[in-house]
Amino acid sequence: MKHAATTALYAYWDRLRAGRAAPERSDLDPAAIRGLLGDVFLLELNGVVRYAVRLAGTRICALLGRELKDRPFAEPFAPEDWPDLYALLDGVAATAIPAVAGLLGETADGRKLDLELAVLPLKHRGRTHARLLGSLAALEVPYWAGLVPLSRLRLVSIRHLHRNHGPAGDDIDLLTPPRRAAAGRLRLLPGGRG
């Protein structure tokens, strides 16, 4: 986790779950994460739209230049990344294991912005496949962020997080390697014999 919002939201979520796989949606107190709300989103899993945005913070909407409420979460992502994005969201919902992804935002005029996405499971009325909590934040905020909207988001890496229940209970283990490598570098492909 590179962004302060990601780290703070994860710590809050972890306190709320109190050893459970995920906290209840009703456990969330917006006042407790007041400073993070601009970077926070809430997704609904079982609505008419697959992974509909129920709530999106003001900084997220400003970066994308539009209101996201009731829109598909995948909408700003490049269509070729939708299978990986849905696999990430489905995986968090099914396993209750949080994930962090590195994103590259692009504007229509070619500007680029590195972002971090965190996706955390929530229960809603006891059901684990109902809501996801997350954050989306720029790693560095250039002068044009919020003035020139990001027209497309690209997945760069995905890491699933797992709490280590050993003596160092706060350690986070990376379970999956990055999905894509930077251009001109070696690329690790899943599969094969180990």
33 in a domain, yes or no? yes
183 in a domain, yes or no? no
Looking at residue 130, its pLDDT comes to 83
Least confident of 26-30, 87-91, 188-192: 188-192
Mean pLDDT of the chain: 84
Q: Cα separations (Å) of 100 from 39, 49, 65? A: 14, 23, 23
**Which residues constitute the domain of residue 70?**
4-174
185 in a domain, yes or no? no
Quote the CA–CA distance of 18 and 22 in Å, as a whole number.
Answer: 8
Quote the CA–CA distance of 117 and 2 in Å, as a whole number.
Answer: 10
> What is the pTM (predicted TM-score) of this model?
0.81
Structure tokens at 170: 């706060």
Q: Cα separations (Å) of 18 from 24, 37, 135, 180, 191? A: 11, 22, 20, 34, 36
- Residue type present at position 133: L
27 in a domain, yes or no? yes
61 in a domain, yes or no? yes
Q: How many domains does the chain have?
A: 1
Q: Which of 177, 153, 157 is nearest to 104 (CA)?
A: 153
Q: Are 14 and 118 in contact (CB under 8 A)?
A: no
192 in a domain, yes or no? no
Q: Are 119 and 92 in contact (CB under 8 A)?
A: yes
181 in a domain, yes or no? no
194 in a domain, yes or no? no
For position 110, which CATH number holds?
A: 3.30.450.20
Looking at residue 184, its pLDDT comes to 42
pLDDT in tens, 21-60: 899 899 999 999 999 999 999 999 987 888 999 999 999 9
Q: What is the DSSP string of 98-130?
A: -EEEEEEEEETTS-EEEEEEEEEEEEETTEEEE
H helices of the chain, in order, are 4-17, 58-64, 82-95
pLDDT in tens, 121-156: 998 887 777 899 999 999 998 999 889 999 999 999
